Amino acid sequence: MDLHDATAPTAPLTLALVIASDREGRFAPVIADWFRTRVAERTDFTLTVLDLAETRLPTSLSYAPDPAVRAELARLTPVLEQADAFVVLTPEYNHSFPASLKNLIDRHYTEWRAKPVGFVSYGGISGGIRAVEQLRQVYAEMHAVTVRDGVVLPNAQGLFDEDGRFKDPTGPENGAKLMLDQLAWWGRALKDAKTARPYAT
């Protein structure tokens, strides 16, 4: 059964794609472009993108950030706040996820709360699954709900042709559909629940 057909909302949910890698020469934009096309085919989401390579947040946290950091947060925080659901596109670095993503997570709290999170991961032979398993623990602490299914891309560069298309899209497209269906269900369910009563903290 197609969950997004069965629970079609009157208005689309806002889905924020967080591109975690900020490394020079990263492969993330190729995967992000593919993922955008998957979301564009649906009517239950509108997509916003937060690319951490385009942010300027120092890794040192402060309860009294300087004006430059406050200005950057004023640009980034509303993207997270207005989202009904998230997809995190992350590589795996040294069996974990990038510091840029942890930095973003740690600077926010209520913006993640009682919202669903899905993952598109890539890396070497593991396809980033170790990074995702760590992120599930982190997001549990933020009171977010991580969905079971996602997209795992082992040795990702070899999966795409020179035009940035999957050589065999079947597995990734099936994974993306399952994840987006689950995000749509949880996103609508949690949004409706928070409308009916405040989330318990």
CA distance 98 to 90: 8
Domain residues of the chain, as ranges? Answer: 3-196
CA distance 155 to 152: 10
Tokens of 17: 């794609």
What's the pTM value of the predicted model, to 2 decimals? Answer: 0.92
pLDDT in tens, the chain (201 residues): 455 554 544 799 999 999 999 999 999 999 999 999 999 999 999 999 999 999 988 888 888 889 999 999 999 999 999 999 999 999 999 999 999 999 999 999 999 999 999 999 999 999 999 999 999 999 999 999 999 999 999 999 999 999 999 999 999 999 999 999 999 999 999 999 999 999 987
Structural Rg of the chain based on CA atoms: 17
CATH number of this structure's domain 3-196:
3.40.50.360
